[in-house]
Amino acid sequence: MIVTVTLNPALDLTYAVDALVPHGTHRVSTVAERPGGKGLNVARVLHTLGEPVLATGLLGGATGNRVAGLLTAEGVRSSFVRIAGETRRTVAVVDDTDATGFWEPGPAITAGEWSLFLAEFRELLGPATVVTLSGSLPPGVPIDAYAQLIALAEAVAVPTVLDTSGAALRAGLLAGPTVAKPNAEELAAILHTANVRRPGPWGLAETVRALSAGPVVVSRGAAGLVAVAGDDVWECVPPVPVEGNPTGAGDACVAALARGLRDRTPWPDLLSDAVALSAAAVAAPVAGAFDPDVYRQTQATATPVAATPDTTPPVVASADTATPVAASPDTTPPAGGTRVRTHR
């Protein structure tokens, strides 16, 4: 079972308009209401794919009740810790070419509520095959919250996929997730530079290696994905452009990465699947959904950018004898059952 963590969930509202004009008045053609937050989008994509998944996080108030009810109505299993504050709302205004988002900050979380969540998370690690850690942190949650969760998962040999930004991303990378999935802008932000916003694969790889010793998959929007794993670099670009709502594309990518970690999918096939699922999410009208036809038709080819001497999956040690694996002997992402890290 894949467990998705959303510490700052939301009730997502999506407004469709003909064209977004700053300072203008817009007539909304359709309104969609969905359980929101990056981790819940991951859970919904996995559920649609038929994968066993359970969503967890922090929910509170009437808005939190609505989010939980919408998840139940979609058939997504969940186990949330209840909080005193009111769960936030987000609004995405979508036209024919792009989306503009308005995100509320989220409720303040008490130390006691965070302790309750840590206890819940430990329980859920028992049946978990992979854990995804996605999105922003609400006020009151420690900035190293994801690092704490990564350490708990590592202690019981459960792989993790980290997708966050800012100080939470920096702290999380130091904890060594199995795979991290920032986008290029998020990397630029934590380095306080614009030089990595749209780099080539080689420059991006050097940036990644300055921040993390483990595998990192960087999303670049329409330019596709770059995976950096030790000395190996892979690039995968969509074969055709897809227009629509990009809001949930990164979450669909995380869903593909989580499934690939569980199944020990080699990097080329994993990146191809992640690009196709991301493109299919862009073609869907709301985050957390994807277009099945686009998913089937948008298979890309991942190509090595750096030397890749072997394509054999790594030998994985048992949970109690896990040892580091030297950089670049293979092209398969770390798998469930142990914590595998690459070092330069």
Which pLDDT belongs to residue 133? 98
Stated pTM of the model: 0.82
The question of whether 251 is a catalytic residue gets the answer yes
How far separated are the first and last CA of the chain, in Å rounded?
A: 32
User: Are the C-beta atoms of residues 86 and 63 closer than 8 Å to each other?
Assistant: yes
Q: Which residue blocks in 110-220 are alpha helix, DSSP H? A: 111-124, 145-155, 166-175, 184-191, 201-211
Please pick, among 163, 251, 273, 330, the residue that the annotation labels catalytic.
Answer: 251
For β-strands 53-60 and 216-219, DSSP reports them as unpaired
Q: What is the pLDDT of residues 231-252, one digit of tens each?
A: 888 999 888 878 887 878 999 9
17 burial level (CB within 10 Å; 0-12, 13-18, 19+): middle
The residue ranking higher by pLDDT, 325 or 176, is: 176
Answer yes or no: is pLDDT of 33 > 70: yes
